[in-house]
Structure 1
Amino acid sequence: MTERTRKGGGGGGGARRGARGEERRAEIVRCALEVIAERGYRGATLGAVAERVGLTQQGLLHYFPTKEALLVAVLAERDQWDTGSARRDESTAWPLDLLASLVDYNAMRPGIVQTFSALLGESVTDDHPAREFFTRRYERVRADMAATLRGEFGDRLPGGLRPEEAAPLLVAVMDGLQYQWLHDPEAVDMPAAFRSFLALLGQSAPPRD
């Protein structure tokens, strides 16, 4: 009997344990999404998620050591779901009408939008655990939005801006509307306001005096 056999069959057992661990992490993220949808950002405690997934809170900490780490995983999963369900071909740009549909969808899941906005606001501090996630996300999203605008308008928007110049403005409107909508959903119709902004993007700039 070799040393590898005596220790339980070599790398196969480790691979199976790793796969089970990834499955467990995915299950925890799915349950966290459910809890957030039901209870919102503040109600999505580690204890509530642990109870939903059938773990003790200490057991949950084995997979996600902090609430922020779990919520970042939830947001990453949301991004993958949104982009994967919206585009069959990842090499193509988002059409603007698809972005508008995504805003419509976000208006139906305030708990996730609340979680995104709360973590985004907190992440501006240097040592926040979500800072790197949002920094990388914004790099990717700005590039995606520039590709979207180039696909819609070419190398220049009707107002004269290049797609790379307008992309941060498009992202800022999407995220800024979410904050206003969360504070006063009766006063701010997020989907309608976003479509109004898209209409502005398609208008030529007025002549200067």
Structure 2
Amino acid sequence: MAGPRGEYRKSAERRAQILDAAFTVFARSGYTASSVNEIAKAVGMTQTGLLHHFAGGKLALLRAVLEQRDARAETSLEDLHGREFLAGLVEISRAQAGQRGVVQLYTILSAEATDPEHPARPYFSERFRRIADAVTVAFEEVRDAGGLRDGVDPRRAALSTLATTEGLELLWLNDFDVDMAEDIRRHLGGFLVDPL
């Protein structure tokens, strides 16, 4: 099947350029201090031209940037269950080590979104809930296969894993000597009969 043609392809390419610019601007300045005009200038457009592609303005750009990041991670976990899913989390952490800007943007926006009035608050709340639920299911599958240590509660293990991942990213961004993938692998191993 042929790919998108003509104006549709150009529009998709332009949206991708805008998202790349939004990512860069948000990573540098944070959401609150960034402007649609700044993003438009970064791609050689007017603010009106940019809003043709993202009618929801800065909030629509933020959501698209965050969704793009999450979609990549979620795609890598598709069809994985139990131990394989947990191993996939380790690989996501390994990939993050090569994407400092992405991790930095996420961390800045996640911190900003702790403000109940921040427009990304619902997004981050839902994202954390979705991740915690998926990791809980993986731990339950490991438990059901006899691979979870006695006394380990899948939900508590999932929340601990999420907190450890977020904390390691923050330490790494602050130049602590951490190996996010190996540290997550060791953390997960503490819950398992046979470590990953």
TM over 0.5: yes
2:41 equivalent to 1:41: no
2:163 equivalent to 1:172: yes
Q: Which amino acid aligns with 2:181?
A: P
2:129 equivalent to 1:142: no
* In 1, Cα distance between equivalents of 2:161 and 2:118: 25
* In 1, Cα distance between equivalents of 2:180 and 2:168: 6
- 1:56 is matched with 46
Structure 1 residue 49: Cα displacement: 3.7
1:106-130 deviation line (CA, Å, top 9, x unaligned): 1110101011111111111111011
Q: How does 1:108-187 map to 2 (within 5 A)?
A: 108-154=98-144, 157-185=148-176, 187=177
1:103 to 49, 69, 93: 93
1:200 to 184, 190, 195: 190
1:52-74 deviation line (CA, Å, top 9, x unaligned): 544223432452522x5423321
Task: Please list every run of 5 or more consecutive structure 1 residues that lacks an aligned counterpart in the other structure.
Answer: 1-18, 205-209
Q: Which amino acid aligns with 2:119?
A: P
Identity across matched positions, percent: 31
1:3-51 deviation line (CA, Å, top 9, x unaligned): xxxxxxxxxxxxxxxx789845455224544x36xx9433995456424
Secondary structure at the aligned position of 1:201 is classed as coil
Q: Which amino acid aligns with 2:142?
A: E
Number of aligned positions between the proteins: 179
* In 2, Cα distance between equivalents of 1:144 and 1:165: 13
Whether the 8 Å CA contact 1:41–1:112 is kept in 2: the answer is: no
* In 2, Cα distance between equivalents of 1:42 and 1:194: 29
1:124-164 deviation line (CA, Å, top 9, x unaligned): 11110110000111111111001111222338831512212
When the two chains are superposed, the root-mean-square deviation of aligned CA atoms in Å is 3.1
1:144-191 deviation line (CA, Å, top 9, x unaligned): 001111222338831512212221111111111111110114x22222
Whether the 8 Å CA contact 2:86–2:135 is kept in 1: the answer is: no
- Residues 88/201 of structure 1: CA separation in 2 closer, same or farther (3 Å cut): closer
TM-score by length of 1: 0.71
Whether the 8 Å CA contact 1:95–1:152 is kept in 2: the answer is: no
